[in-house]
Structure 1
């Protein structure tokens, strides 16, 4: 966005525009209900109240900004058609909103976009074009289509009407949780963060807004350090919804002024939170949606402003979406269980004589380790002429202490297990 456009946007009457967005979204976007999280409250020592935008129409907060933007367009603009770029959630929001306003929509998505999100976007009647490896590649091509074909480009985050639509989440939080002290929001391109920060700081500036981003998506962290927008050299994260290499100029300007702190989280943190949400809250959360949850355990240690604020906090992390395909969620669950010591894989060499497998099985049964998979392979033994066989075993365990007990029991029985993961 050009600097003069950024300045112009910042001069709007933010309170009036946010309220206008809320009015436009009535009957379209859900007012998602706050959900208490006893498990996260106990883990952090603070009151944690979830804002589940994964339960929103189209499964993501993106419908808010997309619909607010498209609702602001004139009939003449709608007749030209709409184009946008997205890794998935904004695509569905634009496709849904365009269908509601009877406008044609072309969505450019990275080739790495999960099939679930591609198919969901097509189901709303949009024309989907797959292009490039990252969002930034898709955005560049969408901009080219806009200029070539005269289409109205709806930017997924660097647009004032879009971020005001996202800001209605902040308005709902202030309405539903009047004693809120902290709001945690995931950052990708910055539309959600900027919109929520704008709403919170406009109506209740004492509430802290804390951003969360994956370690592998460093654009905002680098930009805040530099004091200007700095594109990331590389983006590597499973959270494709926040895998953005170039933050928005407008979103950066707003966040640079209003964001109180930034927390970075690991891929392991993200995977563990996806698993925890499924087990404890029965919620399906995509990786980007789990980023704000993953930041919670780090607030007291890493967040400067959080540590300075004394007393018990009332924290609202925003779960931005739940659009995750079954293949990905299966892999994430497995990774999360491994990280928490719920699954362990080991190998052990056994004499190639009858009864050895039974002995291992008995040790595992006595240790209450549930066998998930066995791989009995003569060709993996250390020597082909030693009359030994390699046994690979995957077991379900109850945590790191239980894993230690299982390995100790195997060694006590005369085996030499080598833990793989």
Structure 2
């Protein structure tokens, strides 16, 4: 058995560092061009350079997405951009379009290629085709079962890697190739601008009765007929490993640093625990607790086990139990310096989440602003404040708060 990589999303430089700090083996991110998250805080070349250096200095990897389906005008400057990425020493690019693959092989032949899930690879013959085009890794389509993945693994060369999504939002359309957003809003999902109209609430209108709307019911549970659940495979690490998956991919470049930290921590601990003792491995319920703290929809195992009912009809809202309220920047002699993320008040009880170990609880005492003035709350985004605590906090510890607690 080969230990699979834990691959995390990095929507910006802070999230990249969070993912690395909490145990990700690699991150994937969007650069300045040709990625499918046009509205993420995508990386400039300077930020990418810093991110690559941060990851490489800790033995981790960085993959850059170039996974749009480009129109002619999108190809302008492609060669120069590929050369820039190669010079920045990114570890691989994630691609879906044959034209981009061909260009990459011409201008940066030593840059590793990973085939995006957008390419809809669902069989071993297709995997072999891409392997012959120089692709090192296949990011499998989400529509595959574990049994199908096992069959692909058996029929492809050992050095062709398989990557699969194990956690995060699922798309109602086949491998994300959807025209609904383009049709309804003019924002092309296949060029990184999806407006997620599948999450909208729909009603039925008969053409001769304009303005008279009738609700659309699905199993009498509601009207969100295209609204997918979130994928979660944390309980099935042994099955994922047995299928021969090289990389366990977490979705969510648009999500928060808290989301990234919680999910990476859970999957890091689960994978490590399994490989420490495969025969005696047991699922730890605390890993699911990490995953239910964050903003999420109801969880499901997607297509992996051939189950039905992958949609959730009653709501498009997220379940959100905890918020991140601050990040520890420094701790010395009982005083912690905190950078605020959400409003927090004197006397609030918060949990401290760090890369290793269980969460611990701390009550915020003697809050002061950066000038040393006593304050009752930290209401301003990213303001610096201090607290006193006997708990020895560490740099980059994340303070989180149950939304229902005072």
Q: Which has the higher strand share?
A: 2
TM-score interval for Structure 1 and Structure 2 normalised by the shorter chain: under 0.3
What is the TM-score of this pair, normalised by structure 2?
A: 0.26
Q: Which has the higher helix share?
A: 1
What is the TM-score of this pair, normalised by structure 1?
A: 0.26
Looking at CA atoms only, which structure, 1 or 2, has the larger radius of gyration? 1
